[in-house]
Amino acid sequence: MPAFGQPTKRFPLEQLTGSIVALVTPMHDDGSVDYPALRRLIDWHIDEGTDCLGVVGTTGESPTVDVEEHCEIIRVAVEQARGRVPVMAGCGANSTKEAIELAKYARGVGANSQLQVVPYYNKPTQEGQYQHFKAIAEAVGDLPVVLYNVPGRTVADMAHDTVLRLAQVPGIIGIKEATGNIERAQWLIRELPPEFAVYSGDDPTAVALMLCGGKGNISVTANVAPRKMHELCVAALAGDVATAMRIQFELMPLHRHLFVEPNPIPVKWALARLGRCGGALRLPLTTLSEGVQPMVETALRDAGLLSA
């Protein structure tokens, strides 16, 4: 792990609400990380009202950045945010030891929370998942832990009762629920302690989850529509159904077509189309297929993000 400097501003946990962008990692055409573009994206998001920056998750191409890059992306994000908004650092790994080391680094450079995904590929049991997250919290629980359940990617699914057990572990403060199953989310919200936050990790159903008591949306769509997603979250968290659904209907084509190919392929193409950063990805991801590019472009136009 690279060396780190002094921690920066901490945010109270209640500020980890609203629109949390699952931020892309801009890259040059040669595949190297484009740190100046990352800094520009962060400033734009803050100007547009994004409530928290989620970095180096799946959308940030965490599977293909190396450890040095992973750490540097977190460090640059914290530095560029300059305490204006919190930073949620993706620190997940299918090795408990590696996840702890990433979290220690994130804590050292001043991140405000850590996102820890269910270990992927090695398919841990429910007890293995419990022990994995418990070990992380015991080692680095002073950097609040947000669990991340996305069985469509990890194969392993975190069961309801496992989440309830983990909610009792000091330092674990929330979960990114990315199954898109609203009944499942409702049961979590009903049975978890009131101070334990449930965040959506599924843009199409995020408004429903927030209206049921969720605390925010860790969003892919926010990459291209940060202002609208912030306003949607403000309305949903306030129980303003009419406003929330008006914005939701504007964003629904984006929610759908930003997943027409595996994330982050479409969202990177969309950001390039908007002139926000380059569209380069690292293999094994490839550029958005020409046949579906018009779908994404139409969604951008329908959301008012491109001129007709």
Active-site residue (options: 148, 199, 215, 228)? 148
Whole-angstrom distance, CA of residue 174 vs CA of residue 131? 17
The helix (run of H) or strand (run of E) holding residue 200 is strand 197-200
Active-site residue (options: 105, 120, 134, 176)? 176
Whole-angstrom distance, CA of residue 22 vs CA of residue 100? 21
In order of 52, 109, 134, 168, the CA distances from 197 in angstroms are 15, 24, 17, 13
Give 21's contacts (C-beta < 8 A, 6+ positions apart): 45, 50, 52, 53, 54, 218, 219, 222, 223, 226, 229
Q: Which amino acid is at 229?
A: M
In the annotation, is 176 catalytic? Answer: yes
- And the tokens for 106? 């994130």
Phi first, then psi: what are they for 113, rounded to 5°?
Answer: -160, 170
In the annotation, is 123 catalytic? Answer: no
- Residues with a catalytic annotation lie at 148, 176
